[in-house]
């Protein structure tokens, strides 16, 4: 007759085997469907928008982990995500997807950079060209050409590559909660006037809030002006509630690609 301890061990072993089997089956299914594309109403996919700031040469240049990422780390993240099946898309792709005009792979993501640092031009832009991935740079238009910030000539070069979208991070990086809705709209419109004066007409207008601060009234007013808008709240976008006026962005920091994926899964569950 089987003892109680033996029975418990067999039950535990059976559960473990079933769990491992489920995980293996999920991995096999994921790899088998890695290149399958879905319309917005066909599958509820997760679409992380990653936010970086400056891309620097050495770790000694990192003062705040959310502000500086080394060139080596950034390239490892991009290559790691590509190897895991991630497809890098643009905001135009996202807009078409939202309008049911384009399908996306189930592992799709957007890469963005705030503030217009010259390190992005020097270090991230070559990596974008190397791996042929689209990126977005949000510029503070009053700062263009200042020490450590890109020039309009560099912005034009990046835009003309077809890989880089230059978008607005305001004219002067104020706290938008200190502005009236009218002032907020004027600020963003003025920044885009400068962008178009220097870079030509922009098909898609995109704005991200300085410091992640905003009011709902500002979001609605800028939405009426036709702006795609970004929050910075470490949440993940999902097809079922994709809102182009309230896109979530998350920090990759200096995480490994595997850790980035685990954070995506965790945040998708936490903020479901």
In a domain, 126, yes or no: yes
The one-character DSSP state at 120 is I
Q: What distance, in Å, lies between the first and last C-alpha atoms of the chain? A: 48
In a domain, 38, yes or no: no
* Mean pLDDT taken over the chain: 92
- Give me the domain span that covers residue 171: 45-270
Cα distances from 169 to residues 6, 59, 140, in angstroms, run: 64, 26, 5
In a domain, 80, yes or no: yes
Q: Which residue has the higher pLDDT, 12 or 91?
A: 91
Tokens coding 102: 């384009």
In a domain, 12, yes or no: no
| pLDDT tens track for 124-154 | 999 999 999 999 999 999 999 999 999 999 9
Indicate whether 23 pLDDT > 60. no
In a domain, 17, yes or no: no
Strand partners, 165: 136
Q: What CATH number does the domain containing 142 carry?
A: 3.20.20.370
| pLDDT tens track for 225-255 | 999 999 999 999 999 999 999 999 999 999 9
| Number of independent structural domains in the chain | 1
In a domain, 130, yes or no: yes
């Amino acid at each position: 007759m089987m003892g109680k301890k033996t029975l418990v061990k067999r039950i535990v072993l059976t559960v473990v085997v079933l769990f491992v089997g489920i995980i293996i089956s999920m991995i096999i299914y994921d790899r088998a469907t890695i290149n399958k594309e879905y319309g917005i109403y066909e599958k509820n996919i997760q679409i992380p928008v990653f936010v970086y700031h400056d891309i620097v040469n050495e770790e000694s240049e990192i003062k705040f982990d959310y502000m500086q990422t080394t060139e080596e780390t950034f390239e490892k993240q991009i290559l790691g995500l590509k190897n895991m099946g991630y497809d890098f898309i643009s905001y135009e792709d996202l807009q078409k997807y939202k309008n049911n005009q384009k399908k996306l792979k189930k592992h799709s993501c957007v890469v963005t950079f705030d503030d217009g640092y010259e390190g992005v031009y020097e270090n991230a832009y070559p990596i974008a060209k190397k791996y042929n991935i689209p990126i977005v740079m949000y510029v503070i238009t009053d700062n263009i050409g200042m020490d450590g910030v890109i020039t309009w000539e560099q912005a034009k070069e990046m835009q003309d590559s077809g890989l880089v979208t230059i978008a607005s991070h305001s004219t002067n990086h104020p706290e938008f909660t200190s502005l009236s809705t009218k002032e907020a709209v004027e600020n963003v419109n003025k920044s885009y006037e400068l962008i178009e004066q220097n870079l030509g007409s922009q098909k898609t207008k995109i704005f991200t809030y300085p410091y992640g601060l905003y009011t709902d009234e500002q979001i609605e007013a800028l939405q009426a002006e036709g702006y795609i808008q970004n929050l910075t709240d470490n949440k993940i976008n999902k097809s079922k509630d994709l809102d182009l006026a309230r896109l979530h962005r998350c920090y990759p920091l200096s995480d490994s690609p595997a850790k980035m994926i685990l954070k995506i899964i965790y945040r998708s569950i936490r903020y479901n």
